[in-house]
Copies of this chain bind each other. A is one copy, B any other.
Amino acid sequence: MFSKACEYAIRAVIYICHQSKNGERVGLKEIAKRTDSPEAFMAKILQKLVKNGIVSSLKGPTGGFVLDKEQQEKIRLVDIVYAIDGDNVFNGCGLGLRECSEEQPCPIHDKFKNIRNGLSKMLHQTTIHDLAEGLSTGTSYLRI
C-alpha cells in the first residue's frame, strides 16, 4: 500500500508528535529506536519531512525534531503520504494504466475508485494528533 519509507515516515511523525506534546524534542537515534527503523534511512526521511514542513528541526546540542503546535493540529496522514509517495495512491489506476480516467476506464475502475476514495478520505480525515493519542493511552504501538 505505502512504500517502506512512507511507513517509517508515518511512524516517525506520530512518535515525534507524541513527544512534542510532552514538550520534548527528540533526536534521530531515539526516533529510529522507538519506531524500529534503520537510523540512516530514517535520517533521509526526516530531511524530506522537514523540507515539506511536516516536522521542524533544530541543529546542535539539545537539537532534534519537533512538531510545533500548528503542525500538531494541522498535519494529516495525507500530508505525509503525499510528501513521501506522491499522488499515485490518490490518482493512479489500479491496473497501472498510464492514467485513470472516466473516459477510458480500466475494467476495475469503478470498484477500485471506491476503495481509493475511501482510503483518500481516511487519510484526509486522520490527523497525527489523533493517532498520537493512542500512544499516550497505551492502546497502540509503533513497533513489534
Judge whether A94 is part of the interface by a CB distance below 8 angstroms: yes
* Interface residues of A, count at CB 8 A: 41
Between A7, A10, A141, the greatest number of chain B beta carbons within 10 A of the residue's beta carbon is seen for A141
Residues from chain B with a CB closer than 8 A to the CB of A111 are 122, 126
Q: For the complex, what is the distance from the CA of A142 to the CA of B118, rounded to whole Å?
A: 24
Q: Which residue of the partner chain B has the closest CB to A122? A: B111
Name the contact of A108 in the complex, choosing from B10, B98, B106 (C-beta under 8 A).
B10
Q: For the complex, what is the distance from the CA of A144 to the CA of B93, rounded to whole Å?
A: 11
CB distance from A95 to the nearest CB of B (A): 5
B96 and A4 form a contact (CB under 8 A): yes
A108 and B126 form a contact (CB under 8 A): yes
